[in-house]
Amino acid sequence: MWLSKQMRPEAAASGADLGVTTISGRQVGVVTRGEVRDLPVYGPGGYLWTPANGSAVLVVKGGPGGEEQCVAGARPAEDPADIRPGEVYIYGPGGNAVYLRQDGGV
């Protein structure tokens, strides 16, 4: 019984980490617990995005042991104060943005 308790597999690590980009482009470098390079960037269907250097990004881990990783999104610098559930706010560099509101306004 003692031996079976000692041989238990380790608990799975978190499936995601917050990281900071160090290399921008379609294949990025990200620092989480260490730097990882050449990570693919994924986004919602119909949306292409490349994070800038220094962006806070979500790194999703998969595969056995979490060794397969990709960048799945970024944290915005600030949310619009009046955003409602279901509305979409698309932002880009230089303060450019498109805001799709519930009432159909853009």
pLDDT of residue 68: 86
**pLDDT tens, residue by residue, 49-87:** 888 889 899 999 888 877 788 888 887 777 777 888 888
The model's confidence at residue 91, banded by pLDDT at 50, 70 and 90, is confident
pLDDT of residue 87: 84
Query: Which domains, ranges and CATH numbers included, belong to the chain?
Result: 16-74 (2.40.50.230), 79-106 (no CATH)
| Vertex 19 angle, CA 78 and 89, to 5° | 30
User: For 84, which DSSP code?
Assistant: -
d(CA 41, CA 74): 11
For 42-72, the DSSP string reads --STT----PPTT-EEEEEEESGGG-EEEEE
Does 9 have pLDDT greater than 60?
Answer: no
